[in-house]
Structure 1
Amino acid sequence: MFKRSHLSFLVSLSRNMAGHSKWANIKHIKGAKDSERADLHMKLFRQIKAVIKEQGSSDPKQNIKLAHLVEQARQHNVPVEKVHQVLKSAAQSQEDLKQYILEVRGPKGTFFVLEVLSTSYLKAKQGINTINRKFNGSWADGVSNNLFNHKGLIKVSPLSQGQTLEQVLDDAINVGAEDVTAEEEGHFVFTCNPRDFFNIRRAINQLGYNVIESDLHYIPLSRVLIESEEDIALVSKLYSKLEEEPDVVKIHDNIE
């Protein structure tokens, strides 16, 4: 059932991308630095390679998932020539990457849902096992289903100055979104079932909306607040180690 919500910008999206807590600010600053480094680009390239293998097409016009990743590469300032090189290389690659979801329990009630691309499940777990031992972490199988909601979030600019949430509701219903919310800066965020994400994103584009950013997120049902500087430093180190794993392409957490 479509919910006519008037909440400001989805808390889950704002915290995943750049919130106001100490933890969110740490991730936001770190993300800004990482975007200038080759390892962030390499994670995008691995995703591109996997999607081409999965969908059987290296043409973004024919492969909607690939088109989404190419757009993400553009947003992260990857040169166009580099993207073309990656598309050509990925089409010829024999590496069989598969996506896995790994779930980790960290210190202080934290949980991490890791999106991983690897040639095997066992290989994917090996590097994370080493990190778990160092930080007293453990596997938390099932938390992505029990403690998180998996949703597609699509943030757009208004079609015209002064466009209201009520005016956007009809478009949200027509494209099959589950919800739409208004952000203080005047942007709107569509929420949808992950299975419908790519089709809904395309439909929103076809209506004339400019998509600012969009992605699939694991949104925690509740969050834990880490208050002490010592605990923040500990969890930040764990997060960094997880992020440094070559096979890990995306991290979701339940931290306030």
Structure 2
Amino acid sequence: MSGHSKWATIKHKKGAQDKARGKLFAKLIRQIEVAAREGGGDLSANANLRGMVQKARDNSVPAATIDRAIKRGTGELEGVRYEAITYEGYGPGGIAVMVECLSDNRNRTGADVRSAFSKSGGSLAEPGAVNWQFSRKAVMHVDGAAPEEEVMLAVLAGGGEDLTRIEDEWQITGPPTSLVELKAAVEEAGCTIHSAEVELVPQSTIAIDDASDARKVLRLIDALEDLDDVQNVIANFDIPDEFFEELED
């Protein structure tokens, strides 16, 4: 189990995502605009856009806001043009960090990401230095009330690879191409899906056995996630359970 996955689950339970709903909306809207620009505004023909729109709907983004974002992406409405940029770096304890951004100003975004790393005891790395430590997977979080046997049968039916218990959720992973089939199989089994998307996953993790180092790692992750241009932060740390109660405070 990835320590970063556990930390994300804890923050969700504590309501941190609700407090940052405006920031979340802005990130989802950017993703929709880029997906529409790259693949067109037809949901039936653009699987990436269809996934981004569903994610926005799941997070209660208004339909009119989604529609305007699609039109900005296709050029029907004027708007800022965003480009996808990925930064790689190292954090405290030698952890590997991937930072996925959507930006309208590469210089500003690069400076912000570099500053977040340096102020939190990390450093940027050259492209390709750490990305080999990650692979892209379909990742789904399902309500933990569902019986393990039923969830496992759905995972097998949908072409998934792994089922893990994290707090009060089930985390399902599989090949990136399996997301649609996995989601359909889990829904057919009557399970409640909390989130479902394709994302980077660390191939292995680095244990952080010191509470001070753990605090520094989470400070870096939070600093990066707070940046407006940052969409996702993925890292390969694993923090022992006994640290989390203290760190939550």
* TM-score of the superposed pair, with normalisation by structure 2: 0.72
The answer to whether residue 226 in structure 2 is matched with residue 244 in structure 1 is yes
Cα drift, residue 124 of structure 1: 3.2
Matching residue's letter, 1:130: S
8 Å CA contact 2:89–2:130 kept in 1: the answer is no
Identity %: 23
1:5-84 equivalent positions in 2, closer than 5 A: 11-12=1-2, 15-17=3-5, 19=6, 23=7, 27-28=11-12, 32-37=15-20, 38-57=22-41, 59-84=42-67
- 1:94 and 1:165 map into 2 onto residues whose CA distance is 43
Q: What corresponds to 2:123 in structure 1?
A: 138
Q: Deviations over 1:82-107 (max 9, x none)?
A: 33343344442453322122112122
Indicate yes or no: 2:201 matched with 1:202: no
Q: How does 1:148-227 map to 2 (within 5 A)?
A: 148-155=134-141, 164=150, 167-168=153-154, 171-172=157-158, 177=159, 179-181=161-163, 189-192=172-175, 194=176, 196=177, 200-205=178-183, 209=188, 212=193, 213-220=195-202, 221-227=204-210
Partner of 1:110: 95
**Unaligned regions of 5+ residues in structure 1, if any?**
1-10
How far, CA to CA, are the matches of 2:164 and 2:220 in structure 1? 34
- The alpha carbon displacement at 1:186 in A equals 9.3
DSSP-derived class of the 1:35 partner: helix
CA contact (8 A) 2:138 2:199 kept: yes
Structure 2 unmatched ranges of 5 or more:
239-249
Distance 1:129 1:43 in 2: 20
Distance verdict in 2 for CA 1:35–1:72, change over 3 Å: farther
Distance (Å, rounded) in 2 between the aligned partners of 1:115 and 1:244: 13
TM-score normalised according to structure 1 size: 0.71
Task: Tell whether the 8 Å contact from 1:155 to 1:190 is kept in structure 2 after alignment.
Answer: no
| AA in 1 matched with 2:36 | I
> Which residue in the other structure is 1:253 paired with?
235
